[in-house]
Amino acid sequence: PLLRSIRWDPVPGVTPPEMEGAYDVFVMQSALENLLEHVWSAADGDTPFGLLAGDICEDPEDGTRYVQISSVCRSRVSLVDGASIPPEAWEALNRDLEDLRVQGSLVGWYLRHPSGDLKLSEAERETHARYFNEPWHSALVVGTDAAQPTGGFFRRTARGFSTVPLPFHEVVTTESLSGGERRSVLDWTNAETDVEVTRS
């Protein structure tokens, strides 16, 4: 999906090679729009979260491994104490995920940080290790500070789980391709790209 995607790099700085994820991440705009609507519409004080569903792929030409996120499963309840997934929520989400099997497998999760802080807490890292311990699993953190919206993907690297957001690709729809310009659904202030982009 490189030809119709936007590569986003975290700001500030460049991710060192040893911190690159084991799998590149491509996320469809429809999935991004769904989860962004979920985290932004939640009540103050809530910590909305959900699962990321998609496919684990390999480029037949060069063997590059990547994950394509095509849909999300929203949790009907928030994280407990801001970091733990309630057992009943995990069971309900997995049932929902079964309904999405035609669109892919479990490839990670997402959650909101109202403050905009994009570091996973120790408790959130423990939750990730418990439920999402495969190298293709990502944690997407969205910071819903209205003045400075942010976001970032965290995943396993050669040096363990990433402590900083890693690059990812936003796969644009056919309608979002216009001439040499691409329309993005992101308004994150901590991500930059080197292609011509219109933010919606």
pLDDT in tens, 91-105: 989 888 877 654 678
d(CA 34, CA 54): 14
44-53, 119-128, 144-153, 170-179: range with lowest mean pLDDT? 170-179
42-56, 89-103, 127-141: range with lowest mean pLDDT? 89-103
Count CB neighbours of 33 within 10 A. 14
Residue 19 has a pLDDT of 63
d(CA 96, CA 107): 14
Residue 50 has a pLDDT of 95
Residue 3 has a pLDDT of 86
Residue 157 has pLDDT above 60, yes or no: yes
Residue 178 has a pLDDT of 65
Residue 116 has pLDDT above 80, yes or no: no
The overall average pLDDT reported for the chain is: 88
